Amino acid sequence: MSSTVTKALSLLEFFSEDEPELGLSDLARRSGMDKAAVHRMLGSMAESGLVEQQADSRLYRLGAGVLRLARVRETAFPVSAMMQPILLRLSTETGETAHASLISGRALANIATCESKKGSRVSLVAGEVLPYHSTASGLAALAYADDKLLDRVLSAPREARTRFTLTERDDILTRIEVVRANGFSESDQAHEEDVHGLAAPLFDRSGRACGAVSVSTPSHRMTAEQRQLSIAAVLRAAEDITAGLGGQRPRGYADQVAGLLASGPRD
Amino acid sequence: MSSTVTKALSLLEFFSEDEPELGLSDLARRSGMDKAAVHRMLGSMAESGLVEQQADSRLYRLGAGVLRLARVRETAFPVSAMMQPILLRLSTETGETAHASLISGRALANIATCESKKGSRVSLVAGEVLPYHSTASGLAALAYADDKLLDRVLSAPREARTRFTLTERDDILTRIEVVRANGFSESDQAHEEDVHGLAAPLFDRSGRACGAVSVSTPSHRMTAEQRQLSIAAVLRAAEDITAGLGGQRPRGYADQVAGLLASGPRD
DNA sequence: CCCTGTGGTGTTATATTATCAACACTGGTG
DNA sequence: CACCAGTGTTGATAATATAACACCACAGGG
């Protein structure tokens, strides 16, 4: 819970596409930890190459070590590479931005994206950490993941990203039930203003959710027709990615989804 | 030095392309740490998504978090993508396997590779951690890096990979002098049997080495002609990658290298 | 049925870590 | 020019998380 390792690694969350370099005091302020402690932690992580310090500006950034680790994992389990063409197809079919995320500890890690070609599109921050409660992807994963994950999420503080974000425990639980009844999750402007999300769960070998694939559409552009089309496309993408992961959908889920698609406007 | 964070992160070094999944006892044995300690560390790193535990086999592997971190870094500082075409050219020009590495804490992290098309070629493990003292890349980086790095390497234990590996302090220092005199480094079978390495340093904005680019040739195939050709190609690749990094070669180095190429058989 | 291996879990002495303070340095401002 | 607010860094001590040890439950061979 409050181990030094966890605290040190939590510092990595603050590095993003928008702020790839951060100073010591800045990191200490955001993490709420002491400057000296943060300094030692960054020093330790720099020894391992997870972060590196710019010699002149003294700013810290993610190090070459993360590239190496990603290469090792991607060589052994090529998930990003496998997802990319499926996301491309999903984005082309729907005309919108698609992305896939995997359960990564306490949060959902955005692993691969394919942006829409349209001028007006949902653009998302590469490698963003997605909360479970405020995103369609998060709810899709949560609904089919291990129950312990749901407990952990419900017992942790939840940030209200917009006025539509579900933060109450009971609201989230009923929403989870809706997701289970549908086989996919839907979320309008709960994470970002004017963004509508449709997501379907990804499964691992054990039949538990290990992530989610999602389509993000500008809210004003989400018509009933577009919605049906997107649901079908997302479910198919999820099926293909799950297969690519060597995963297995739980009993009943495949039939539920198949019935959903048959009854829809797409034949 | 012996902080818990460093010890925990050192566990990540044991995951490789060949052994992407490791058990708890195995990791404890290799790291020389207590099982209970390793268990807690892995738990902490799992919370952050750096590692994940297979539900059925209970084995640990690198987690989705490393993919996310790599994406964040690569989006902000696209080095791998920039290196790839240059490595392709280097590999094509020499007909051998090329790779680039960056200084990553106490070791050199292999970031990008391009394997030779020949049936008999040097094949290297993706994302391998390269020691400074036993590889051409390591010696090239060491010769032009911050002096503190050289001190740290010289004061740490050095493994003898082959019977040609330099482990003695004085031998390494004289070799470093040779590298500085040449502007590139050469190493025959010091890291791997039957592998000849030629490497040139990469520089950052401050003019200090931040990595190296290298060509690995089967020793028996390294003729005087091939050697001249490879030296020129590696130096040119290093120049281009340094430029792509926004780096600056130190005073004198550019002239030294230019003179080297002019006097060589390639006009 | 032992025996050896595995992953995992307690408990206490110990050693690391958090905290606070002060330091040197920088850049901007009155 | 001195001041101020900011930075990164380094010591000291007090508090606490950690390491070590033993132990447990389980799985697979011999």
CATH of the domain at B200: 3.30.450.40
On whether both B205 and B99 belong to a single domain, the answer is yes
On whether both B151 and B39 belong to a single domain, the answer is no
pLDDT digits (tens, 9 = 90+) for A34-92: 999 999 999 999 999 999 999 888 999 999 999 999 999 999 999 999 999 999 999 99
Q: Quick check: B62 and A68 CB within 8 A?
A: no
pLDDT value for A202: 98
pLDDT digits (tens, 9 = 90+) for B22-42: 999 999 999 999 999 999 999
Which of A37, A68, A99 is a domain's end point? Answer: A68
B70 confidence band (pLDDT: 50, 70, 90): very high
pLDDT digits (tens, 9 = 90+) for A91-105: 999 999 999 999 998
Secondary structure E strands in chain A = 21-22, 51-53, 60-62, 97-104, 107-114, 129-130, 185-188, 195-203, 209-218
On whether both B101 and B169 belong to a single domain, the answer is yes
- Say which nucleotide is closest to residue A38, CA to C1' distance: C18
**DSSP character string of A89-134:** HHHHHHSSEEEEEEEETTEEEEEEEE--SSSS-----TTPEEPTTT
Closest CA to A205 of B63, B54, B18: B54
CATH value at residue B17: 1.10.10.10
- Say which nucleotide is closest to residue A8, CA to C1' distance: C17
- Is residue A265 scored above 50 in pLDDT? no
Write out chain A residues lying below 8 Å of B206, CB-based.
55-56
On whether both B13 and B34 belong to a single domain, the answer is yes
Report the gap between the CA of A173 and the closest CA in chain B (Å): 23
Which residue of chain A has the CA closest to B15? A72
Stretch (H or E) spanning B83: helix B79-94
Report the gap between the CA of A224 and the closest CA in chain B (Å): 33
A80 in contact with chain B, both atoms CB, cutoff 8 A = yes
Query: What are the tokens at A204?
Result: 């691992």
Spatial neighbors of B137 by CB under 8 A, at least 6 apart, are: B99, B101, B108, B130, B185, B197, B199, B211, B212, B213, B214
Write out chain B residues lying below 8 Å of A9, CB-based.
44-45, 47-48, 50
On whether both A43 and A103 belong to a single domain, the answer is no
Q: Quick check: A70 and B66 CB within 8 A?
A: yes
Q: Which tops the pLDDT comparison, A221 or B259?
A: A221
Whole-angstrom distance, CA of residue A143 vs CA of residue B225: 64
On whether both B8 and B93 belong to a single domain, the answer is no
As beta bridge partners, residue B106 has: none
A208 in contact with chain B, both atoms CB, cutoff 8 A = yes
pLDDT value for B2: 78
Domain span at A49: 4-68
* Mean pLDDT score, A127-151: 93
Whole-angstrom distance, CA of residue B203 vs CA of residue B200: 10
On whether both B56 and B97 belong to a single domain, the answer is no
Which of B16, B51, B68 is a domain's end point? Answer: B68
Task: Give the whole-number percent of chain B exceeding pLDDT 70.
Answer: 98
Let me know: does B126 contact B115? Beta carbons within 8 Å. no
Spatial neighbors of A181 by CB under 8 A, at least 6 apart, are: none
Which of A68, A90, A110 is a domain's end point? Answer: A68
pLDDT value for B157: 86
Query: Best interface-test mutation with B: which of A42, A66, A103, A137 has the largest number of B CBs within 10 A?
Result: A66
Phi-psi region of A28 (alpha: psi -120 to 50; beta: other; left: phi over 0): alpha
Domain count, chain A: 2
Let me know: does B103 contact A68? Beta carbons within 8 Å. no
Query: What are the tokens at B80?
Result: 């791998």
Q: Quote the Cα angle for A104-A76-B135, to 5°.
A: 110
Distance A37 CA to C22 C1' (A): 16
pLDDT digits (tens, 9 = 90+) for A163-205: 999 999 999 999 999 999 999 999 999 999 999 999 999 999 9
Q: Which B-chain residues 248-267 have CB contacts (< 8 A) with chain A?
A: none
- CA distances from residue B233 to A243, B110, B229 in whole angstroms, order as listed: 43, 19, 6
On whether both B191 and B235 belong to a single domain, the answer is yes
Whole-angstrom distance, CA of residue A22 vs CA of residue A35: 13
On whether both B18 and B110 belong to a single domain, the answer is no
First and final C-alpha spacing in chain A? 50
On whether both A52 and A26 belong to a single domain, the answer is yes
- Is residue A121 scored above 50 in pLDDT? yes
On whether both B147 and B254 belong to a single domain, the answer is yes
- Which bases on strand D have an atom closer than 7 Å to a protein beta carbon? 6-11, 17-22
On whether both B154 and B247 belong to a single domain, the answer is yes
Report the gap between the CA of A219 and the closest CA in chain B (Å): 27
Closest CA to A184 of A108, A257, A102, A89: A257
* Mean pLDDT score, B205-214: 94
pLDDT value for A155: 87
